Amino acid sequence: MRIAVTGATGKVGGEVARLLTIEADGEGRLRLIVRDAARAPREPGAEIAVADFSDAAACRAAFADVDALLLVSAGESADRIEQHRTAITAAAEAGVGHIVYTSFLGASPSAEFTLARDHGATEQLLRDSGVAWTFLRDSFYADVLLDFAGEDRVIRGPAGVGRCAYVARADVAEVAARILRDPAPWAGRALDLTGPVAVTLGEAALLMTRARGAEYEYVDETLEEARASRAPYGAPDWQVDAWISTYTAIGSGELDVVSGDVELVLGRAPRTLEETVADPL
């Protein structure tokens, strides 16, 4: 069985590659698909293929003879859905057997988190592709809270007292690796990957303080404050809307979901927020 992993230079894709290498069943059975070969992880026995999601021919070549493919969603961009369309069409044309896609919790055209709408559209492309699929609907990553806090260790955004069960990147990677090894039982399933408990950002800051031995804080912003505080970055409107909707999606209650799907796949409870931020991926 040949498994291919896109996004192998990233946090999740790279960890999936590492996990699959540990149990590799022979030379050339794992293919790492990257945009820059110089940055590809050097995993023993793994093939390296170079392809960008916007290049249909390169994707078809990279996906050839692949039984199971991890399709890590493209980076945030205005044309992300079109990139996904190109990659999925290429996978179908190349005869890929099964696609595991990193989606988002509550992915749909009407999701409060604007980027989850991209994921909803991509899920539909996969349903229509004729290729067997599994959706990993990840909650927000607990690891990313450290990035949100930044050097001053303050998380700012209009989330109020909304709750989210932040998931560890490492758990998502482990779930993906487990399914890629034997995808058939998971065909046609959308798995909600969350942490074990939903917390407010204020509570998350306290847990981060406890786990890391340095004080973290959450500052609840109004929508106007959130837009003003992000204006200096000069980002396009769609991206600013995505940044702000990260918090409004939490505040709306849409992400107040605790799922047992991590445990269903792995046979153990998901990592806690404290465990994750103490040792982030």
pLDDT tier for residue 28 given thresholds of 50, 70 and 90? low
- Please report the pLDDT score of residue 211 as a whole number: 98
Closest to 208 in 3D by CA, of 138, 269, 270, 154: 154
pLDDT tier for residue 185 given thresholds of 50, 70 and 90? very high
27, pLDDT greater than 70: no
Average pLDDT value for residue range 49-74: 97
- Please report the pLDDT score of residue 23 as a whole number: 66
Average pLDDT value for residue range 227-235: 94
pLDDT tier for residue 25 given thresholds of 50, 70 and 90? low
Average pLDDT value for residue range 261-273: 98
- Please report the pLDDT score of residue 235 as a whole number: 94
Side chain identity, residue 55: D
pLDDT tier for residue 24 given thresholds of 50, 70 and 90? low
Average pLDDT value for residue range 209-216: 98
Average pLDDT value for residue range 179-194: 98
